């Protein structure tokens, strides 16, 4: 970027120099012509001298024209680069009035046309304004990274003193996405360690209890071994789900799409979960119109989404409740729904349940790994569909997802 701006400045100076040379030559020639016109008696200059002069002028003009078109091409190339880059570029004069702003600068500062406005007005953040002031005072490059909570942004600003004027050049980078990814990664590692610590601690406690004498008490020993098995199963499920999630997120996952009948998908998932629902004292039924259009789906993976949703409905619905699987047409897609009459999800948490490891109440009986819904979300989105939930605490939940035809 600095190189491009330096190049533009050098080319502008060159053009100015040629323009000045052209102008002085034209002026000298005009003076010369005027002298000849005013003193007609005077002897005419040597014709060869005039010829030489004329060819020099012609050469200069053509060189100037060539330089001018090179400059024009460079300038339009630079303008395109400045228009297209995602980093913001602002040039301010010594008083901090913006003289130049590329479109990205306007977008990043959410300011329609920054030119002729002050840096304070455009930037609207005192740390960034301070960085610009420091650069103006010290004539040294300054950089500053700030979070702008009102605009949900994380920006990095570099202020460079302009060597050819007393103003400065401001380069702005939007690090919001990068920062968000970093936070997600950090949260993921800390969540994962936390999730692993709980079953590991209880496995250790169970093993110690067995060592400390429970082994000699066969009924108690059996209970502890059963408990160990439950903990190991939970750990295995978590590891399997993590592997699946990592496979999906790293792109090592492809869908085997083919036309599928929505009702068949619901029927097959319902068959798989029927026994589990009955055992929990729940009724499970399918509502599906026979003339539904087919969807483009990886049937096995969509069935996995439905099974995950039904499994949750079974876990979070008290005996006597009902689970209904529904499919209906909406524009260009089929909308699937899994509705239950269970404990529901508090309104302010509905938007978070698709996050990895998110569980409404970790102490709720039946709470699992918190990974099932994020896997379901990935699978639905890979089908170019959308998944969401509607619920109120205590009044059941409905999970919807759409799959294009």
Residue ranges that bind ligand ADP, judged by CB under 6 A = 312-313, 316, 340, 342-345, 353, 358-360, 367-373, 397
Using DSSP's 3-state secondary structure scheme, residue 294 falls into strand
Q: How far is the CB of 282 from ligand ADP (least distance, A)?
A: 12
Query: In the complex, what is the shortest distance from the CB of residue 288 to ligand ADP, in angstroms, rounded to a whole number?
Result: 20
Q: What angle do CA 330, 334, 339 make, to 5 degrees?
A: 100
Query: In the complex, what is the shortest distance from the CB of residue 371 to ligand ADP, in angstroms, rounded to a whole number?
Result: 6
Q: Which residue is nearest to ligand ADP (CB)?
A: 368
Check if the beta carbon of residue 132 is closer than 8 Å to that of residue 96: yes
- Residue 247 near residue 280 (C-beta atoms within 8 A): no
Gap between the Cα atoms of 244 and 207, Å rounded:
30
Q: Which helix (H) or strand (E) holds 171?
A: strand 168-174
- Kindly tell me which of 136 and 317 has the beta carbon lying closer to ligand ADP: 317
Question: Collapsing DSSP states into helix, strand and coil, what is residue 120?
Answer: helix
Nearer to ligand ADP, 114 or 370 (CB): 370
CB of 357 to ligand ADP, least distance (A): 8
Tell me the closest approach of the beta carbon of residue 342 to ligand ADP, in angstroms. 5
**Nearer to ligand ADP among residue 18 and residue 399 (C-beta):** 399
Find the shortest distance in angstroms from Cβ 361 to ligand ADP: 6
Cβ neighbours of residue 305 closer than 8 Å, sequence gap 6 or more: 376, 379, 380, 387, 401
**DSSP labels, 348-376:** GGGGGTTSTT--S-TTSTT---S-HHHHH
Report how far residue 285's alpha carbon sits from residue 271's, in angstroms, rounded to the nearest whole number: 10
């Amino acid at each position: 970027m600095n190189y491009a701006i330096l190049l533009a400045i050098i080319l502008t100076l060159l053009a100015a120099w040629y323009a000045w040379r052209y102008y002085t030559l034209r002026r000298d020639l005009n003076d010369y012509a005027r002298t000849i016109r005013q003193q007609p008696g005077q002897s005419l200059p040597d014709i060869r001298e005039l010829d030489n002069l004329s060819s020099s002028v012609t050469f200069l003009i053509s060189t100037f024209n060539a330089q001018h078109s090179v400059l024009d091409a460079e300038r339009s190339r630079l303008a395109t680069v400045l228009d297209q880059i995602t980093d913001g570029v602002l040039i301010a004069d010594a008083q901090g009035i913006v003289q130049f702003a590329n479109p990205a600068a306007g977008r990043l500062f959410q300011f329609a046309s920054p030119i002729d406005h002050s840096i304070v007005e455009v930037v609207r953040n005192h740390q960034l304004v301070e960085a610009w002031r420091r650069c103006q005072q010290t004539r040294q490059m300054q950089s500053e990274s700030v979070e702008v909570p009102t605009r949900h942004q994380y920006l990095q600003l570099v202020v460079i003193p302009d060597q050819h004027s007393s103003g400065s050049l401001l380069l702005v980078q939007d690090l919001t996405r990068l920062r968000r990814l970093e936070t997600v990664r950090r949260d993921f590692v800390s969540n994962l360690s936390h999730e692993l610590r709980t079953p590991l601690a209880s496995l250790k406690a169970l093993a110690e209890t067995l060592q400390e004498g429970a082994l000699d008490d066969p009924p108690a020993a059996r209970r502890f071994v059963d408990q160990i098995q439950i903990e190991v199963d939970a750990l295995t499920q978590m590891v399997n789900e993590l592997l699946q999630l990592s496979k999906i997120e790293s792109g090592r996952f492809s869908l085997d799409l083919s036309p599928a009948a929505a009702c068949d998908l619901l029927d097959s998932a319902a068959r798989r979960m029927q026994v589990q629902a009955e055992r929990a004292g729940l009724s499970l039924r399918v509502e599906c119109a026979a003339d539904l259009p087919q969807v483009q789906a990886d049937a096995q993976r969509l069935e996995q989404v439905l099974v995950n949703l039904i499994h949750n409905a079974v876990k979070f619905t008290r005996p006597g409740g009902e689970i209904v699987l529904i499919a209906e047409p909406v524009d260009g897609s089929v909308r699937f729904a899994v509705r239950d009459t269970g404990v529901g999800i508090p309104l302010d948490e509905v938007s978070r349940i698709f996050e990895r490891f998110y569980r409404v109440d970790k102490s709720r009986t039946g709470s699992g790994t918190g990974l099932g819904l994020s896997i379901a979300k990935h699978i639905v989105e890979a089908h170019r569909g959308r998944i969401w939930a509607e619920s109120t605490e205590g009044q059941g939940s409905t999970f919807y997802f759409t799959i294009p035809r």
